[in-house]
Amino acid sequence: MKALFTWKEHEEVTIYKCHNHNCSHRKEKLNALNDDEEKLREERSSQFKINYQYREYHYSQADLKVAETAKPKVDLERIHNNKNIFALILTLHISYAITARKTAHMLRNIWNISVSYQTVLNYVQTAAYYCHKFNLKNKGDIDDINAGDETYVKVKGVWHFAWLFICSASKKICGYHFSDNRGAKAAIITMLETVRTAKENQDITLVSDGNPSYQAGIHFINSLQNQLKLTLKKVIGLQNMDDESEEYRPFKQMIERLNRTYKYHMQAQNGFESVNGAVAKLVLFVTHYNFLRPHTALNYKTPIQMPELRKIDSLPGKWVKIISLAA
């Protein structure tokens, strides 16, 4: 028995490594290599993690919160326009993915409602502040298989990342986050939110690409608790080069379709002027997708069925109800 030694130290994590060449973990990893991998290991040994490693993350609960918008400047109870106009703005700008400037233009030229472009943005940030808590509160149970990915979003000319996880059967978005990098912390936050409402002892499979941040997330979450069994399945590349990629590619394709839908609804060709604005659009996209958007695979039902919305036919009417429930 040999103790682990400190291999790498970073602000967020300390990595310990086993240097015992007779370790059962090391022997198992070596025996699993095929002939091509053994030859490649002789040339590029750093690409293979053979020795056992343990990661100790230095996060507090306060560090692991899902991104949310700041408290809005506009008081929902004191807005200049009534809630029907507020809901019409959300219908056009969020549900139908019309830009803020075109939304203001349509309101003025079709309905003779004088609303500025900035008012549209203010209303969006106000709605997002309340809808974030609504999304988390009403998410419900998650499926046994859930797929996740991160996609690029530009803020003030700098790339940021929107993280999404989708349930494979119910089609609802079960986790989301926004960050300025693709590191382990952002992945952990998104994955913690994804499994937050899982049933006790539920056997959960998370599907991702080869980003190592997801593997770090699995390691971190499994080290926190023993009530859930989390397994990560990776889909690598565009072609199926291994059995795991072939089996789980349909789930990876599902999250890629969700990313395309999200990017379509962003409608920010030159990016966002603030992180707060980008987070607000992400939050309201999740609200729209989970509670308002019918899905063909669900017989044109929404991923999350809210009894309070069933008897309301119009999208603006449903937005009014959601805002009232959220506030």
> Sign of the C-alpha dihedral, residues 181, 182, 185, 188?
positive
In a domain, residue 222? The reply is yes
Read off the pTM: 0.87
In a domain, 94, yes or no: no
Domain check: are 164 and 299 in the same one?
A: yes
* Domain identity same for 235 and 146: yes
Indicate if 170 and 289 belong to the same structural domain.
Answer: yes
- Residue ranges making up the domain that contains 193: 135-326
**146 and 275 part of one domain:** yes
CB-CB contact of 294 with 302 (8 Å): yes
> What CATH number is associated with residue 174?
3.30.420.10
Is 70 inside any structural domain? no
Q: Average pLDDT per run of 10 along the chain, which is 327 residues long?
A: 76 81 85 82 78 79 88 74 89 94 95 92 93 96 96 93 97 97 93 93 92 89 79 81 83 95 81 92 97 93 94 94 92
Amino acid occupying residue 56 = E
On whether residue 260 sits in a domain, the answer given is: yes
Looking at this protein, which amino acid is placed at residue 17? K
Q: Is 257 among the domain residues?
A: yes
Is 308 within the bounds of a domain?
yes
Is 87 inside a domain boundary?
A: no
Domain-embedded: residue 78:
no
Q: How many domains, the chain?
A: 2
For tokens 């059995």, the residue is: 243
**Do 187 and 300 fall into the same domain?**
yes
DSSP annotation of 308: G
Helix (H) or strand (E) holding 207: strand 203-208
Distance from C-alpha of 209 to C-alpha of 142, rounded to nearest angstrom:
20
